[in-house]
Amino acid sequence: MTSLGRLLLVLLVAPLLLGLVGRVKAWMGRRRGAPLLQRYFDLAKLVRKGLVLSKTTTVFFFAGPAFSLSAVIAAFFLVPIAGEKAAIAFPGDFLLLAALLAVGRVATMLAAWDTGSSFEGMGASREGFISSLSEAPFFLSLLAMAVSTKATSLSAMTGGVSGELWSKQGSTLVLLAAVLFLLSLAENARVPFDDPTTHLELTMVHEVMVLDHSGPLLALVEAAVAVKMALFATLLVDLVVPWASLPGAWKAAVFAVGLLLVAVAVGVVESIMARLRLVRVPHLLAGGLVLALAALLLVRS
């Protein structure tokens, strides 16, 4: 299968990861829970529904969800899948990855502000606050990865992860994996940074930004959430698996198991932890920054 085919396959199964997270939470809470494929049913239902629009909205409200989904999908073209080279790869491509993720985030925030709602404006402000704190750990973790693998492209970084690298830089890779997992929770508005299932406006972050979205626009938002979750899960699996030491026939299976384990880990975290107060969020992200700095120092030593 070509790199483009792998990418399309991952995009297709992205909502399945969120369904798996829900199933893990239901199992740990001893509940029946929603079906594993519920996300696909929800997206199909939203596409068929009509739009309910506020009189204050402009073109930014319509463009926000489309730009958000397009930016995340474009970012996925830069991410290697199952140890294979990304569809688009060049030196320094991780900088473009961060920029595309920022574009998608800003598009969602602009759409929230465009509604004229004070609640949605509050959520957008909180989103900008949390994302600004996660930028430094994200860049430092990728920098540490670049130094440890002596590569400047995400595809080359992934290709440089081997059993030999784990034996020499195992502690560094463990720290980087912890940082990326923490950032995946923050960037995807998951517990303990946000609760995607809450309906209390004063505690919501991402969900409050999309309160006025409906029908196909809400479907675009939900699709972007699923793809972004799959993107960070892919980055995490790319980092911890020694792809260079695996035979080609095993890579796809190991990649699928890796995504499965990330989704299970997210479900477990959301089952055993509560959402943090907003004033505690900087402390947790500061801990991620410290771990990223420690990983970078361990590489240099």
Query: 140-154: per-residue pLDDT in tens?
Result: 999 999 999 999 999
Range 101-122 average pLDDT:
93
Q: Evaluate if residue 216 carries a pLDDT over 80.
A: yes
Q: What angle do CA 275, 200, 106 make, to 5 degrees?
A: 75
Q: In a 3-state reduction of DSSP, which class is residue 297?
A: helix
pLDDT number for residue 300? 65
Q: Among residues of the chain, what percentage have pLDDT more than 70? A: 97
User: Which range is least confidently modeled, 3-12, 22-31, 157-166, 288-297?
Assistant: 3-12
Burial class (CB in 10 A: 0-12, 13-18, 19+), 290: middle
| Number of structural domains the chain divides into | 1
Spatial CB neighbours of 151, under 8 Å, sequence gap ≥ 6: 157, 159, 160
What pLDDT, on a 0 to 100 scale, did the predictor assign at position 56? 87
Q: What angle do CA 196, 202, 206 make, to 5 degrees?
A: 35
pLDDT tier, 194 (very low <50, low <70, confident <90, very high otherwise): very high
User: If pLDDT is split at 50, 70 and 90, which confidence band does 202 have?
Assistant: low
At residue 90's C-alpha, the angle toward residues 252 and 260, to 5°, is 25
Residue 49 pLDDT exceeds 60: yes
Q: Quickly state the pLDDT bin for 6 (edges 50, 70, 90).
A: confident
- pLDDT classification of 235: cutoffs 50, 70, 90: very high
Q: CA-CA distance, 170 to 240, in Å (whole number)?
A: 9
Specify the pTM: 0.95
Q: Is the pLDDT of residue 231 over 70?
A: yes
All residues at 6 or more sequence positions from 272 whose CB lies less than 8 Å from its CB, including other chains: 28
Q: What is the pLDDT of residue 301?
A: 57
Phi, psi of 275 (to 5 degrees): -65, 135
- The whole domain housing 145 covers 3-300
Residue 84, strand partner residues: 81
**216 or 83, which is more confident?**
216
For the chain, report the end-to-end CA distance as a whole number of angstroms: 40
Q: Are 111 and 58 in contact (CB under 8 A)?
A: no
Q: How confident is the model at residue 278 (pLDDT cuts 50, 70, 90)?
A: confident
pLDDT at 103 over 90: yes
| Model confidence band, residue 39 (pLDDT cutoffs 50, 70, 90) | very high
Contact 111/66 with Cβ under 8 angstroms?
no
